[in-house]
Amino acid sequence: MKGIFPLLFLLVSTLCHALPASIGDELKQEGLPASHVSIYAREVSAPGALLSWNAEKAMQPASTMKLLTSYAALSLLGPAHRWETGAFGEIENGRTIGPLYIRGSGDPDLKVEDLWLFVQDLRSRGLSEIGDGLVLDRSRFSVQQSDPGRFDGKPYRPYNVIPDALLANFDSITLKFVPVGSRIELIPFPGLASLSVSNGISPSRGSCAGWEDEIATSISGNGKKASLGLSGNYPADCGEKEESYALYDHSEYFYQLFSDLWKKSGGTLSGGWKEGKVPQELKRIASAQSRPLASVIVDMNKFSNNVMARQIFLSIGAIDADPATVASARLKIASWLHSRGLDFPELVVDNGSGLSRVASISARHMGELLIDAWKSPVMPQFFASLPIAGVDGTMKKRLVGSAVEGHAWIKTGSLENVRAIAGILQAKSGKRYVVVCFIQDSHPAGAKPFEDFLLKWLDEK
């Protein structure tokens, strides 16, 4: 009898590493070579995988890398962690003595409305006149300056914004396309005084699918002023749509936005801006606190926000380093993984967002990360941040009407020639499975149908 157990183990192991015929057939139907696909599926309480195919191979994870950033941040910073943007200075007779200092801590979610409340807080302290300008303290992060368009040649896309300790509103202008009678109005928000918009959009009829491709964009500026010109056709039946653009440098954008809100509140501001550190002797006179991390990562993961991920990644690096760097963030995450017995030799963490051609991890190790997260104290906050199949986020329109709808929490990822999913599924049997699928192929058009097929297949187990 002793010899039976090793044979059984070998048989089970062999079956796990074989590709089921139905999955192989589906790959062929979608035109995806099996060698270009990695899959790892495992029941959360099981000692081994239900399905493991090319699972040891290092692959580009695209935005599923945000799962590592999320889990590390929840564990190391804590679900209740908040970022603070502070104002420092002295007020006398409603006026600052010297400049007003504003210091950022890397808030990934500082929006226009948060800055408005920040301004109101300052006004409530009796401040009405800032006579010597602003000093912006961005020193919490040390990020090597690089071309924001280096990744894909699109420097004005908000997802390419470089992280910053004093990031506001993702450094972006949102342009709303509004059909009004026989014309299309373009409404920028926030409507900064230094921004000019040239409207060459004509209304048209037709499908809304791919409407963005019909718009030609020209952008110019000198850092302090920006000009945005648009031309082309916009299908009037689309109703209102939005596109966002990153047009300013970090400090200039923050100053312009703060200045606009400050003047609208009735305050006066002169003296411009410069960068510097808050003197130690100055007292904080107002602050804006972010939402808790557990809430922030919901937006980050549901909608795959790269800028948020990079801000959170650097915030991990700020735990033991001042200023935080990409290197300190990588080191902290590597140390944390090792402390949990998760040693992934093929893992390469670039910037924490997955918007990278350098980042890599195997499907098996991504699956083991998810198993570890399932058993951790931050499990509820972590998995609640993932898109739900057929319900919300990047999975809202997928698997609608299927048995998987509402029963799978899946982070998606997409780069040119790369598609990925990773998350957890509750099958019809009541069992919960971690599932990871990475696809690297020059023609990945069939990736989504295959991923959906894989989730349906797993649902039957």
The per-residue pLDDT for range 390-410, each reduced to its tens digit, is 999 999 999 999 999 999 999
Share of the chain above pLDDT 70, in %: 96
Residue 249, C-beta contacts closer than 8 angstroms, at least 6 positions apart: 223
Better-predicted residue by pLDDT, 7 or 139: 139
Share of the chain above pLDDT 90, in %: 86
Mean pLDDT, to the nearest integer, of 154-160? 86
Chain region(s) in the chain for CATH 3.50.80.20: 83-290
Per-residue pLDDT reduced to its tens digit, 179-230: 998 899 999 999 998 999 999 999 998 888 888 888 999 988 777 889 999 9
| Upstream peptide bond of 377 is cis (omega within 30 degrees of 0) | no
The enclosing H or E element of 380 equals helix 379-384
Q: Is the confidence at residue 231, as pLDDT, over 70? A: yes
**Category of 77 on φ-ψ map: left (φ > 0), alpha (ψ -120 to 50) or beta:** alpha
Q: Looking at domain 83-290, which of 1.10.3720.10, 3.30.930.10, 1.10.530.10, 3.50.80.20 is its CATH number?
A: 3.50.80.20
Mean pLDDT, to the nearest integer, of 232-244? 92
Distance CA 183, CA 253 (A): 30
Chain region(s) in the chain for CATH 3.40.710.10: 12-80+294-459
pLDDT of residue 142: 96
Q: Is the confidence at residue 16, as pLDDT, over 70? A: no
Note the Cα 169 to chain centre separation in Å: 14
Main-chain dihedrals φ then ψ at residue 415, nearest 5 degrees: -130, 170
pLDDT of residue 206: 83
pLDDT of residue 17: 66
SS3 state at 381 = helix
pLDDT of residue 85: 98
- CATH fold group of domain 12-80+294-459: Beta-lactamase (3.40.710)
Mean pLDDT of the chain, nearest integer: 93
Distance CA 307, CA 79 (A): 19
Distance CA 306, CA 387 (A): 15
Tokens 């972590």 sit at which residue?
Answer: 382
List beta partners, residue 418: 415, 440
153 pLDDT tier (thresholds 50, 70, 90): confident
Residue 445, C-beta contacts closer than 8 angstroms, at least 6 positions apart: 30, 31
pLDDT of residue 14: 40
12 pLDDT tier (thresholds 50, 70, 90): very low
Q: Is the confidence at residue 10, as pLDDT, over 70? A: no
Distance CA 195, CA 191 (A): 7
Taking a C-beta distance cutoff of 8 angstroms, is the pair 380, 433 a contact?
Answer: no
Q: How far is CA 424 from CA 44, 56, 399, 411, 439, in A?
A: 9, 19, 15, 9, 18
Taking a C-beta distance cutoff of 8 angstroms, is the pair 160, 224 a contact?
Answer: no
